Structures are given as C-alpha cells and as structure tokens.
Amino acid sequence: MRKKIVSVVGARPNFIKIAPLHKAFSEMTEIISHKICHTGQHFDKKMSDVFFTELELPKPDYFLGVSGGSHAQQTAQIILEFEKVLLFEKPDLVIVVGDVNSTMACALVASKLNVPIAHIEAGLRSFDREMPEETNRKITDVLSDYLFVTEQCGIDNLLKEGVDEQKIFFVGNVMIDSLYNYLPQAKRSPICKELSIKPEDYILVTFHRPSNVDDFESLVQLQNFLNKLSELKTVVFPIHPRTRSNFEKHCLMNGLNTNIRLTDPIGYIDFIALQLHALLVITDSGGIQEETTALNVQCLTVRNNTERPVTVEIGTNQLIGTNYDRVIEESIKIINGQLKTGSLPYLWDGKSASRIAGIIINKLVS
C-alpha cells in the first residue's frame, strides 16, 4: 500500500523548496502518493501562481484560501482549514518547510492529530524573538519528528535545545536544488534587456520585513537610502506587495528617483537572472542570502542578525546592520572592486531533495 504524504506551501520560498522534493517523489509513485496543500498565505498572483508554473508544480490538491489578517488571524484560519484536510486524507507524513505562519500552523495541526511531521530547513535561529519567523521555527522544530538541516548551525542549535540527534539529518539545501535546476533558463532570461540594464552594472534591492517597511519613519529612511544608492548605480527594486502598500499609504512612491527601476514582484527564473547578473544585491530576505552565496554574487543583508550564518562565515554575504549610511559605505567599496571572497557550503550540491526523499522512504516503508 502506497504511503501518503501531504506537503504544505504558503509563501514564495516554500514553493521553491517543495518543487525539487515533488520531483523526487514523482519518481516513486509506486510507493508514495504526494499531495500539495497551498494555504494561500501569499495571495498575490505574482507571488504565488507564477511560481507553480515556473517550478513545474502541479495544481495544488488543496487550496485553503487563507490570506491577509494579523498573524493570529492567519494562523488560526490555517489551523481550522488544514485540520479538515488531514482528517480527510489521513496521511502518513506531513512535510512543512521554512518558517512562515503556514509552517507552524500546519505542524501544530499534524501534531494534535498524531501525524508525523518532517521540517525542511530545521534548526535555523536568528535569536531575535521580535521576528515572528523565529517563533515559527522553534515551535515547528519542537513538534517535528524528522528535522532536515541545511547547515551545521542547524544541528548545533537543535542539540543545544535538547532535540534527539536521531531526529536530525544534515541534507543540504533544497532551495539550491531549484536554483541549479533552473539556472540554464535564468541565463537565457531577457529580463536585463527588458529593464534596460547592463549585467554587472546595477544593484538589486529587496525589502519586505516589518522592521524595515511598516512604519513611516522606517519608510522615509528606506526612501532616502534608495535615492542615495541610485546616485551610485542603477537600482532594480522589485517591490513586495507589503512594501508597495506601505509606500502608497504614506504617499512616498513619487519621491523615488528615476534611476530606480521599480517593478512588480518578479517570477522565479527572471529573479534568479537578476541576482546572477547583479553587481551587488542588498536585501533583508533570508533565502536571497543563500542564493547569492550559491551564485557567488556580493550580498549585503540589512538586518542585525541572520539565521543563515554560513552565508556570512564562508559565503559572499555580509551582515551589515540597519544603519543605511554604513550600507552605502559598503556598497561603494564593492562598486570599487573590494569584493568578499566566498565558497559553497557543504552539501549545497543540488542533490538535497534526493537525500530527503531517500530518508523519508526508508523511514515510512521499512
């Protein structure tokens, strides 16, 4: 009898991480039935639907339609809706990825119903409790039966928290599996031509974290920073729906310089191309720290902490803090050729999904 697995996706990074795993399970259909549940946490079509198409994911078996609202409202609604899915499907395993509200909410439901849980990207810690993602990570790891780790710090953190080492598996990074798989297509992307930018002659910028974009003072500081940055190089700024909404609410959009290429959220393959050809990437994202390290592209992370320290320790990422004057100073150094040398983290080889699938099959079938 085939074993049934339900994987949960809710936000843009989840799709990237589940895609290679779905492909691996698709080669095991005689023993595995793999279903995908999309909570709807990212409801913007440019943030969701396009990713399913580009990553060759099938239409989700379930779409919960939960979006918007506060963290509590969103989490509660996902719990209510996902419980119905599990009661109907009765799966042998639930897979959750990353650290978004969908991850924690669905892990909680599975735990209450005694369904085993696998957490992909387990053990990462920023040690910043003001980040809602940190709460999601810690709760999900406590509840999970299989903890799949991307870097050594994940193992160290879990062991310090008292997790049974038999539950921990160092498998590498499935996000990098997707990156390598679609890199040939990204190299053929026309996005630079469409935006009238020259490769290695622009700075790619993304900002979406509440601490950077949710209040007026922070937004004014971000606007001033972007304008100063655009005096150094052309700035490409794919604007997150949250960021755009806050800029528009405070009537700040018209204050951005013309040398800032402001775009809607960009599809996965085109965004990989933008990272690949950028002189520098400036971000407050988590996954972009990893992708730039894998692509050997300079990255400045505008945060006071990172849950992905390997990208700083051996990668091309620099944790720069939230002082925009310092970000400008470091940007100028990179523009002038002072580059950080990076190397590829252990097991970031494009084979993580195969390792995860093999472990899961061994556990479920044996």
Confidence of residue 44 (pLDDT cuts 50, 70, 90): low
Model pLDDT, residue 49: 66
Give the architecture-level CATH label for domain 183-335. 3-Layer(aba) Sandwich (3.40)
pLDDT tens-digit map of 162-206: 999 999 999 999 999 999 999 999 999 999 999 999 999 999 999
Catalytic residue at 208? Answer: yes
Measured CA distances, 46 to 42, 67, 91, 209, 275 (Å) = 9, 14, 30, 18, 18
CATH topology of domain 3-172+348-365: Rossmann fold (3.40.50)
Q: Let me know if the fold of 3-172+348-365 is the same as that of 183-335.
A: yes
pLDDT tens-digit map of 56-86: 999 999 999 998 888 899 999 999 999 999 9
Model pLDDT, residue 45: 59
Closest CA to 37 of 78, 92, 1, 98: 78
Model pLDDT, residue 249: 87
3-state helix, strand, coil in the chain (%, to 5): 50, 15, 35
The mean pLDDT of 133-162, rounded to a whole number, is 98
Q: Where do runs of H (alpha helix) occur along 43-112?
A: 49-54, 71-89, 101-112
Query: Whole-angstrom distance between the N-terminal and C-terminal Cα of the chain?
Result: 13
Look at the pTM and tell me if it is higher than 0.85.
Answer: yes
The span from the CA of 189 to the CA of 108, in Å, is: 40
The span from the CA of 356 to the CA of 154, in Å, is: 16
How high is the mean pLDDT of the chain? 94
Model pLDDT, residue 315: 98
Evaluate whether 82 touches 101 at the Cβ level (below 8 Å): no
Catalytic residue among 34, 38, 42, 208: 208
**φ/ψ of residue 237, rounded to 5:** -130, 85
pLDDT tens-digit map of 251-286: 888 899 999 999 998 999 999 999 999 999 999 999
Domain ranges of the chain: 3-172+348-365, 183-335
Model pLDDT, residue 284: 94
pLDDT score of 47 more than 60: no
The mean pLDDT of 101-106, rounded to a whole number, is 97
pLDDT tens-digit map of 304-321: 999 999 999 999 999 999
